[in-house]
Every structure is written in C-alpha cells, then in structure tokens.
Chains A and B, each alone.
Chain A
Amino acid sequence: MIQVTGLTRRFGDLTAVSDLTFSVKEGEIVGFLGPNGAGKTTTMNMLTGCLRATAGTVCVDGADIETDADRARRIIGYLPENPPLYPDMTVEEYLRFVFRLKKCTLPRGEHLDSVCAMAGLSDVRGRLIRNLSRGYRQRVGLAQALIGDPKVLILDEPTIGLDPRQIIELREVIRRLGERHTVILSSHILSEVQEVCDRVLVLHHGRIAADGTPAQLRARAAQTEQLGMTIEGEPQAVLAVLRAVPGVTDAALSDENGKKSVYHITAEPDTDIRRAVFNALSQHSMVILSMQQVERSLEDIFLALTETEDTADAAQPERLPHKKKFPWFGRKRGGDQ
C-alpha cells in the first residue's frame, strides 16, 4: 500500500531523516516509535506531501506523492500533531468545509454522519471548535482525516494531550479503523504502540533502528539471555565461578547482600546457560537460592536500541528544526520532530 524508498530529508546541515526504506501492507497498523527529535513528524510530513523529500520516493497505492500528488492525496487522510482546526467554525461547518476541500463525491449527509459517529462527535456537531476541549478537538482532527474515506490514515501523536480515559477510547477507535484502513501512527509511548500496532518501526536519529511486530522486537531482545540469580557464597568467589562458565559473557553483582547476594548474568545469544551455571555452582558447593530468566520489556529494548545508536552517531544533533528552512530558527524554538 505504501512504498517508501531511500527517503531522506535534510534541513541545512542537519539530516532529520536519512535513507528510510520500508513498505506498509494494506490493512496494517504501523507505529513509528522514537524519542522526540527522531524524525517521526518529518517522515509523516513527507509521506503526506506536506514536506518535500531531499531524496527518495513515497508511493501510495501506486501513486507517487510528488508526480501524482492529486491522486495520492485523495488516498491519504492526515492528522498532524496539532489538529488543523479553524476555531471560529462549528464542527459541522468545519467538516463540510473539509468535505468540499477534499472534493469528496460520497453522499455528504450520510458520510458526515458516519464520520462523526466514528470519531464520537455526534453530540457536539453544532458547537464552535473554539469552545471544545482538547480531547474533542483531537477527535475533530481525526474526523477531518477520515473524510473522503481515505485508504491510508496517517496520525501524528494522536493521543498526545489526552487524559487516560480518552487515550483508551481513541486507541479503541484506531483499532476499529485498522479493520478498514491502513494506519500509520507515531508515538513516543511504547505501551500504546505495543497495544494498537501490528508492526513497529523504531526510528532514531532519522533511521530505522528496528522493524518488526511488538512480539518480534521483544524476542529480538530476548536473544541475549539474561539471568537474575540469588546465590549463597562469597561474592568474589561466586563471580569468578560464574565468569568461568562457558557461554557467559558477563556476570555482575546487582544487589550485594553479604553471602546471599543477587547476581545479573548475561550470556551469548541463543544459549541456555542455566544448566551449565547450575553444574558449575554445585561443583563449588554454592547454593542457588533463586534463578529466573530476565525478559526484557519493550522499554528496555527501546532504550537499548536508541542508546547504541546514540553512541554510534554521537555527532548527530539531538534536536532537529521543524519545517523551517533555516536551522537556527528551529533550534531556537527547540522544534520537536
């Protein structure tokens, strides 16, 4: 459905997005995950044609976003980070305007009714957008993206600024939308992406740091086996024994508590060291009081992925300017991507 090849965006000397290549299948819900300034918004702006790419192409359902912009834009519904609302209009007026703007040919009354029902706006259609709460404004923004029944929905931080109940509601809406649309959403909240998305792209410094289902990402991190153990014995002696076990790459004291200390053991990928550790310790008459495999959460994976990237390109600037041609402009405002 969406084919992105070599997408790059530079702002002056800064590379906000660098050589991004990925594709999204029809009906997938894909989450862009990354810390602030990772290039999520820049990528989305390029996907929707709001921002021109320095290099690379975006193809939506066979239509190139630059050369076949008109057709591509009809396929995409976009909710930017700040919903593009006119405060002086009522919800109804606004949605009608968007309907006309998008040159929609669906029957208007029915379509607006269904969009409002989907976004949960039916009660506030006559209210001025100015007077709506943040949560409702976000819904109006979502309704705007839904108009024209686009095949692809691109939602930039859709749950930002909402209260927990609204977040849960909106996630439910997104999940329902995923049944009929291809959805790309961005977030810096892991649990959200984990819950809603079929697939996660972790972006860091404008690059894809990881790509896979939430389960795959977790499995990927679990490849490096980690054990947490409580062992009876003199800490230094225990560590010496542990480090001598074949397959163990690192053993460390994680909680010193005299003769009943807690150890953290890292093994080579895909090796189960539990048996070897047990044998080695029992040879030295060191009693295992507890042993468990440490499963890393997505949070850990995320941090690990972004940290290694950090050391890899320490030269890359943290914050990137937003949309402005002049980098110093964006920096001053601390533009968030």
Chain B
Amino acid sequence: MIAVFRRDMQGFFRSPLGYVYIGAFLAIMNLYFFATCVLASSSDVGSVFSNMLIVFLFLMPILTMRLFSEEYKQGTDRLLLTAPVSVWEIVGGKFFAAVGVLLTALLCTLPWIGIIALFGTPAWADILGCYIAVLCASAVFAAMGLFLSSLTESQLIAAVLSFALFLGLYVADMLSYSMDSSRLPGRLLSWLSIFTRYDSFMSGQFSLGNLIYFLSLTGLFLFFTARVLERRRL
C-alpha cells in the first residue's frame, strides 16, 4: 500500500499539476479568508470553511480523474494486479494519496490560524472541528472520484462524471431546502446531504453521527472501487 501511495503522491508533485492545483486552491481560499476574516475583523473561520467544500467540489475531479484511468491507459494496471498486493492495498494507496494532497493543501491554510491568534482569540475547538470536517467530507468526494476513475480509461470521462455527481449532490442539497422537511422525501434528502451535515459542523456542532456518515460513505465507495478492480479480471 505504501508503494502505491508514494508513487501516486510523488506522481502528483512530479508534474506542475500538483503545484498549480494547490496554488489555485490557496488563491481562492485566501481571498475568502481575507474577505470574511481579515476585512471583517472576525475570528470565525467557520464561514471560510463552509465555502471550502464547494471549492473542493470543483477541484476534486481533477485530483482523482487520473488515479485509475491513467493506469488503464498506460497498461500499468497489469503491474499492480500481478504484484503480490491485494486490490485493497491498491485502492487504499491511491485513496490516501488523494487525501495526502488534500492534507497538503489544508496544511497550507494553517497561517490563517496564526493570523487569527496574532490579532484575536481563536476558538481552538471550532477550528479543529472545521479541519476534521473538511477532511472527512472531502474524503467522501475523493472516494467517489476514485470510484468513477476506476470505471473508465478516459481521464476526461472520469472528470466529467465526477463533476456531474458532485454538482448533482449539491443541487440535491439545495432542493432539500425548498422541500417540506416534515415529509419523508425532504427529510431523506437533507439526511443524505453531505453539505447539510457539513454545515452543521461549521456552525460549531460536533456530531459523531455526521462523522460516521462521512466515513462510512467513504468506505462504501472504496469498497465499490475494489469491486470494480476485481471485476476487471473477470
């Protein structure tokens, strides 16, 4: 697993893509931070983080599209499949490589906390909660993107499918607001929504249920991905 993880992580930073990717993420997020915290003299990073997931929604397909599609195209999946590693190690290695890139991007936002600590009093628990929440919620996207990448040889198709899925989830979330929340469809939709659950973190509520939801959804899509790899041998 570590071999796959290292290769994919290095592969990302071997090309300019990795730097452009993190650079774009930081440019957008720093603007948000500047507007909502610095200009407004607020120490509430929750509002910055609530927008972060939307940014990841757009950036994630680019991160995950190549993970399997590129292997198929290059024929290197043969190498992985004939090596003495299980499909779980391959899937896990790739997933954690994607999460590793996310984590690198998140680490680059730590100066914000320093700025807040310099000029105000950070709410440490809230901040920690925000980081955990954005990591877990974006891990769900990473697992979904990984799964879609495992379905096709074409990186472009993988990216488009991922965009469609993420935007679809976002639209479903917006739909849940306009639906009657006392009825079953509305309740189901908002219960399922990643964004609703994510927002409850941002408002400072730490919920174990939400965390478990994110983790199990991630696990589910990793499981699907492993199944797809198994199926390719059939």
Contacts and interface: CB of A to CB of B under 8 A. Distances in A.
Contacts of B192: none
B7 A84 contact: no
B79 to A, nearest CB: 4
A70 B84 contact: yes
Interface residues of A, number: 31
Nearest to B93: A101
Interface string B2-34: 111011001100110000000000000000000
B78 A80 contact: yes
A80 B75 CA distance: 9
A82 B234 CA distance: 20
A173 interface: no
A73 B76 contact: no
B21 to A, nearest CB: 16
A52 B234 contact: yes
Interface stretch (A43-51, A244-252, A268-276): A43-51
Contact of B7 (A49, A74, A80, A86): A86
A25 to B, nearest CB: 22
A165 interface: no
Contacts of A142: none
Contacts of B79: 84, 98, 101, 144
Contacts of B78: 50, 78, 80, 84
Interface in B76-104: 76-86
A82 B82 contact: no
A127 interface: no
B183 interface: no
B82 A325 contact: no
Nearest to B234: A52
B11 A50 contact: no
A82 B10 CA distance: 23
A82 B233 CA distance: 18
A166 to B, nearest CB: 20
Nearest to B233: A52
Interface residues of B, number: 26
Centre residue among B7, B77, B82, B83 by max chain A CB count within 10 A? B82
Interface in A65-105: 69-71, 73-74, 76, 78, 80, 82-89, 93, 97-98, 100-103
B6 A97 contact: yes
A27 B231 CA distance: 34
Interface in B199-228: none
Contacts of A102: 83-84
B82 A50 contact: yes
A97 B75 contact: no
Contacts of B75: 80, 82-84
Nearest to A323: B232
A52 B3 CA distance: 25
A101 B85 contact: yes
B3 A88 contact: no
A178 B234 CA distance: 32
B15 A49 contact: no
Interface string B189-201: 0000000000000
Contacts of B231: 325
Contact of B82 (A78, A89, A103): A78
B11 A84 contact: no
A73 B2 contact: no
B74 interface: yes
Contact of A100 (B6, B14, B74, B76): B6
A101 B3 contact: yes
Given A50-B233, A100-B2, A101-B3, A85 B83 contact: no
Nearest to A45: B78
Contact of A101 (B10, B11, B80): B80
B73 to A, nearest CB: 11
Given A80-B75, A84-B74, A100-B3, A49 B80 contact: no
Contacts of B4: 101
Interface string A34-71: 00000000000000111110000000000000000111
A103 B85 contact: yes
Contacts of A101: 3-4, 79-80, 83, 85
A97 B7 contact: yes
A73 B85 CA distance: 9
A209 B14 CA distance: 49
Interface in A312-336: 323, 325
For the complex of A and B, list the 10 residue pairs with the smallest distance between their C-beta atoms, beginning with the closest.
A100-B3, A84-B79, A84-B76, A101-B3, A73-B84, A82-B75, A52-B233, A101-B83, A80-B78, A48-B82
Interface of B: 2-4, 6-7, 10-11, 14-15, 74-86, 231-234
23 contacts: A49-B81, A50-B82, A69-B84, A70-B84, A71-B84, A74-B84, A80-B75, A84-B75, A84-B77, A84-B78, A86-B76, A87-B74, A88-B14, A89-B14, A100-B3, A100-B6, A101-B4, A101-B80, A101-B83, A102-B83, A103-B85, A144-B79, A325-B234
